[in-house]
Chain A
Amino acid sequence: MSEIVLESLGKTFGDFTALADMNLTIANGEFMALLGPSGCGKSTTMNMIAGMLRPSCGAIRFNGQDVVDVPMAKRGVGFVFQNYAIFTHMSVRENLAYGLRAQGVPTADIKKRIQAFAELLQLESMLNRRAAGLSVNILQRLAIGRSAILEPAIFLLDEPLSNVDAAFRAVMRSELKSLQGQFGQTMVYVTHDQLEAMTMADRIAVMDHGKLLQVGTPLEIYNNPADTFVAKFIGAPGMNILQGRLSQSADVASVGVPGVGSIPLSPALQSAVRQLTGPEVQVGFRPEQVNVAGAGLTMHVGLVERIGARTIVHLERGETTAKAVLPADVALPKAQSDWTFAVPQEDIRLFDPKSGQALKARTH
């Protein structure tokens, strides 16, 4: 088992900076998701942990030991590729045995371990089948088993569910999660799907354009995003971010969104806005936090998406757009008409209009 520490890790390809100054500690046995859109640097980070890429700067430590100079084959890291990279010209058994044979494990032990893992992964009936042409479900388990059988301390998974049908993904997610529970390895999981990260990870590292934006548990990131990117990326749909203006009347501070309405600010937020230099501020609230019984904000209803258990209402007013998510049992707002709603004070988040950083209440 292993703790992974990334210290000031960076990677450039010529002029292009794929990753800059990444600092992250992944605890022993933790399931850490590296989450971000394509090109954010998550795969680059993972490839460096595995040893497939050499960092341009910074250090990578497994349990305190610097591994940057340790070759790929010796890092003791399990890796599941996006396309699984199964040796299709071999049988399932040969795939499982590959790593053990490469490391000179005695044949009798190999046989025992294959039997144990095949049972665990429900691959027993497939052992002698050729790996080519097997279903994705089986290939995923084989890809994991092939690495897991070596009992590595660290497991890296590169978007392993991206090739899988929407329908199967849920099944595979729970399989992966239970496997990790069983083996207890430190797992690093790369994905662009925030749902996957939220469902499976102990902690999520949100990345964009080569930078680490925030690390935290799924709920920490969901409830207190560090900036507008994280706020919008997490959640389906993501947080609504509206351009607002602070106004100070005699007793209460509120933030107004032109044409929409105004939201009174809680004391905590009132202290947070003192950091701002101007009256402009970005207001955030999550679509599902909308209170249909309240008032204070009015927008025009555009499209209404009824999707099973919930309804997504698309709202607009001039240049401003927002979405609201209502449970299926709530009365639908009428399309092409105005709709009034409120957002509870404690659910409002404020962000700096220039940097996008979340404004946090100062504790004086």
Chain B
Amino acid sequence: MTNVSTMTPVADQPEAPAKSGARLGLWLTLPAQLLVLFIALFPILMQVYISLTDWSPLDGIPWWRAHELWIGLLNYSDLIADSRFWGAMWRTLFVMAVCVPVQFLLGLGLAVLFVDDFRGKRVLYSTLLVPMMVVPAVAGYMFFMLFQSGGPVNDLLSIFTSDPVRIAWLSDPDLALIAVMVADIWQWTPLMFLILLAGMISVPQDQQMAAILLGASWWRRFFTIVLPRMKSIIIIALAIRVIEIFKIFDTLFIMTGGGPGVATETISVYIYKVTQQELIWSYVAAIALAILIVLSVVSVFAIKRMQRGQET
């Protein structure tokens, strides 16, 4: 029971900020920093450049001469008026708004289960991680088969109804998105589970014991001790999933191809189609940039929250 907490009440002597050491460190890491900057920054700058032109590979000129087809912010104004784009955006946000909370709650529930030991824990643990390790395209094909009108999902549902269920999931514009969301939840809940479990385990044991001894029920402990101390981890987990799910593509595309029609066309699918089918790269650059800005805002928010959380 002793020495479980990581908290040390007695203050340590402050560490001297070795000024000369820090400066030397800066110089030593400069080459690496420049390299990373180049790798990260260059494509973005290229994207910005192209998005301000009307260039496409079919034009016959190399990309660096795209300025000859300068159109300024025209792509962006087109983007704002593009209803198909907004449809894709709306669908993506809808998927995010449903899947992320569901994955979070399921992951949290599983984490709670796995905090304590039980029989068969290790076996169940390995099984639970499998979905995450499946190649997304393979998962897409798997769910494609599962959701066929004569497939296992319908057979399962038929157990509960008197008439056999023959829903055409993937060809129904209203239901296809649900099928896609189920696939995503199946695949990525394990990731949430892993991250949240790690966070839950690191909640100091003795504080939980103290809470029990003060008479707290499991629920009270969960909401007053466990969850608050998991704040940083929860934000990281949510941020990771939000950013990833925004980019949802592989599984979905194999399952439905974005269809029927545009019923499951998310942003990534839309960009893919515009690029492959219509080859208006400059327009695509504009779209990609717009999304990058949105996701960057989310990341910065998460990082700030995480830094503040570290001061606990």
Contacts and interface: CB of A to CB of B under 8 A. Distances in A.
Contacts, number: 98
A85 B10 contact: no
A79 B7 contact: no
A102 B217 contact: yes
A43 B4 CA distance: 14
Interface stretch (A156-164, A210-218, A327-335, A336-344): A156-164
Interface string B235-271: 0000000000000000000000000000000000000
B212 interface: yes
Nearest to B220: A102
B9 A139 contact: yes
Interface string A62-99: 00000000001111011101111111111000000011
Given A47-B1, A82-B2, A85-B209, A163 B214 contact: no
Contact of A164 (B3, B10, B204, B217): B10
Contacts of B2: 43, 81-83, 158-159
B228 interface: yes
Contact of B10 (A86, A150, A165): A165
Contacts of B220: 101-102
A147 interface: yes
B9 A84 contact: yes
Contacts of A81: 1-2, 5, 206, 209-210
Contacts of A102: 211, 214-217, 220
B225 interface: yes
Interface in A118-165: 132, 135-136, 139, 146-147, 150, 158-159, 163-165
A132 B312 contact: yes
Measured as residues with beta carbon below 8 angstroms from the partner, the interface class of chain A is 35 or more
A50 interface: yes
B212 A83 contact: no
Nearest to A72: B212
B224 A83 contact: no
Q: Counting chain B CB atoms within 10 Å of each CB, which of A72, A81, A135 scores highest?
A: A81
A164 B215 CA distance: 28
Interface string A162-178: 01110000000000000
A98 B209 CA distance: 13
B229 interface: yes
Interface in B181-225: 204, 206-207, 209-217, 220, 224-225
Contacts of A90: 224, 228
Contacts of A74: 215
A73 B9 contact: no
Q: Counting chain A CB atoms within 10 Å of each CB, which of B9, B212, B220, B224 scores highest?
A: B9
A116 interface: no
Contact of A87 (B9, B207, B212, B215): B207
Given A132-B312, A136-B10, A85 B204 contact: yes
A194 B215 CA distance: 33
Nearest to A98: B214
A237 to B, nearest CB: 26
Contacts of A79: 209-210, 213
Contact of A50 (B3, B9, B206, B213): B213
A268 interface: no
Contacts of B8: 83, 163
A303 interface: no
B215 to A, nearest CB: 4
Nearest to B6: A83
B215 A158 contact: no
A83 B9 contact: yes
A107 to B, nearest CB: 16
A89 B229 contact: yes
Contacts of A85: 5, 204, 206-207, 209-210
Contacts of B207: 85-88
Nearest to B207: A85
B215 A150 contact: yes
B312 A88 contact: yes
A295 interface: no
Contacts of B214: 73, 98-99, 102, 146-147, 150
A86 B217 CA distance: 18
Contacts of A150: 214-215
Nearest to A80: B210
Contact of B213 (A72, A82, A86, A164): A72
Nearest to B5: A83
A164 B9 CA distance: 9
Given A72-B213, A73-B212, A136-B9, A43 B1 contact: yes
A355 interface: no
A18 to B, nearest CB: 12
Contacts of B213: 50-51, 72-73, 75, 77-79, 147
A52 interface: yes
A277 interface: no
Nearest to A146: B214
Contacts of A136: 9-10
B220 to A, nearest CB: 6
B216 to A, nearest CB: 4
Interface in B1-55: 1-5, 7-11
B292 to A, nearest CB: 35
B24 to A, nearest CB: 32
A220 to B, nearest CB: 29
> What 4 A-B pairs are tightest by C-beta distance, nearest first?
A99-B214, A85-B206, A85-B210, A83-B5
15 contacts: A50-B213, A52-B1, A52-B209, A73-B213, A73-B217, A79-B210, A81-B209, A83-B3, A85-B207, A85-B209, A85-B210, A99-B215, A102-B215, A132-B312, A150-B214
Interface of B: 1-5, 7-11, 204, 206-207, 209-217, 220, 224-225, 228-229, 312
Given A79-B210, A89-B312, 8 more contacts: A75-B213, A79-B213, A81-B5, A82-B3, A83-B4, A85-B204, A102-B217, A164-B10
